Structure 1
Amino acid sequence: MRTTLRTRTAATALALSAALSLPAFAGSAAASGTGAEAAPVTCTAANTKVTVKKVDRPVNHLLLRAKNTGTKTCYAYHAPYLRFGQSQAATAVLRESVPQAVITLEPGKSAYAGIRTESPEGTNGFKTKKLGVLFSNRAHNGGAGTSAKPKLPTGGVYVDDSAFVTYWQSRASDALAW
């Protein structure tokens, strides 16, 4: 009985030791840049191209796309901060649209956010040709980098106080489901 218990304890200790050393080894290889890809970074306007597209459905929506143009994988944390024209406040974020995980963008891949610009219940509307997009930092307590300034559809868009943006999604259809 004691031999079996010692064998199991030794095997458990060996497995635990191996499991604990594996992440440390992987992290040091990534940090040194030898034999492993570089550690992911936060998506910003510097390493992505941000575009806006008008969509037919749903009505009064735009599709925001962020394509990783960098050489490292980046994380699109939370939801983008949007500022239309000269508005005083950032556009509201639709909390129900939180994805199951942080959106990870390998080089060349894209993330999407849906934007509702207006609704029948909205008030205080205005037309604008300007949009500022700021990526969220990991802690979700501010922006990362500088704002991207994608072109809005020709003629601009009408925005009112019912406008919202979704969290970043991995597929355009998920971003427009709201």
Structure 2
Amino acid sequence: MADASAGSKSSDRPSVTSSPTAGQAASATPSDGSGHNGGDAGNGAGAAVVACAVEGLGFSATSEDEKGGSVRHLLLTVTNTGDKKCLLYQYPYLKFTDARSPIAVIQDSKDAPVTLAPGEKAYAALLATGGRMDTYETNTIPLSLQGPDAGSKAGGPVDLDLPGQVAFDDGARVTYWTTASGLALRFIMSS
């Protein structure tokens, strides 16, 4: 996949910068357990909330396209399956193994980190194709979580199962995490 950040800024499209790739199931073991955490994971009042880790989360991807058609618009959902609050930073870091760069983020979707209490969900929207080159077809995508600093890892990657075979190209884009699925999708549905 070519670098999606180059030449992507135009007045009729949201601005993008490089971002990571998506992953899979809640029970997956991250390849890198290090990462930033916001402090102590204690339960007392005033205890700092730590960065979310894949071990306490469930992941899914659903198509937002018409049934039977090709899949271009995806909604990524993460659910806190643990027993403590955690912070979900930045956006899903989605990068295929042989790609030169991660999938670009839509900067206009930037929001504050999402605090996920047990059982709560957060969303990111993923546009698989932007009508460009270097098409890559797959039914999974590697997803890593980020720490407070863009590009820092809070664990992962996990292989996220996609709803069938999806074609990606170097125009793929992803949004920041948010608690409103409709808000995330607003950034990709017109593309």
Same fold (TM over 0.5): yes
TM-score, normalization by structure 1: 0.73
**Whose relative contact order is higher, 1 or 2, with alpha carbons under 8 Å and at least 6 apart?**
2
- Asked if structure 2 preserves the Cα contact closer than 8 Å seen for 1:84 and 1:130, the reply is no
TM-score, normalization by structure 2: 0.69
1:119 partner SS: coil
- Asked if structure 2 preserves the Cα contact closer than 8 Å seen for 1:126 and 1:158, the reply is yes
1:145 partner SS: coil
- Which residue is 2:170 aligned to? 161
- Asked if structure 2 preserves the Cα contact closer than 8 Å seen for 1:81 and 1:136, the reply is yes
Q: Of 75, 85, 89, which residue of structure 2 is paired with 1:77?
A: 89
Matched, 1:45 2:54: yes
Tell me, in whole angstroms, the C-alpha distance in 2 between the residues paired with 1:46 and 1:119: 32
Greater percentage in helix: 1
What is the deviation of 1:47? 1.4
1:173 partner SS: helix
Within a 5 Å distance, the mapping from 1:2-151 to structure 2 comes to 33=42, 36=45, 39-56=48-65, 60-84=72-96, 86-99=98-111, 101-120=112-131, 122-151=132-161
Which of the pair has more CA radius of gyration?
A: 1
1:89 partner SS: coil
| 141-150 vs 160-169, which moves further | 141-150
Gaps of 5+ in 2: 1-38
What is the deviation of 1:83? 2.2
What is the deviation of 1:31? 5.8
Gaps of 5+ in 1: 1-29
Output the amino acid matched with 1:93: V
- Which residue is 2:162 aligned to? 152
Q: Tell me the matched-pair count.
A: 145
Q: Give percent identity, aligned residues only.
A: 34
- Which residue is 2:7 aligned to? none
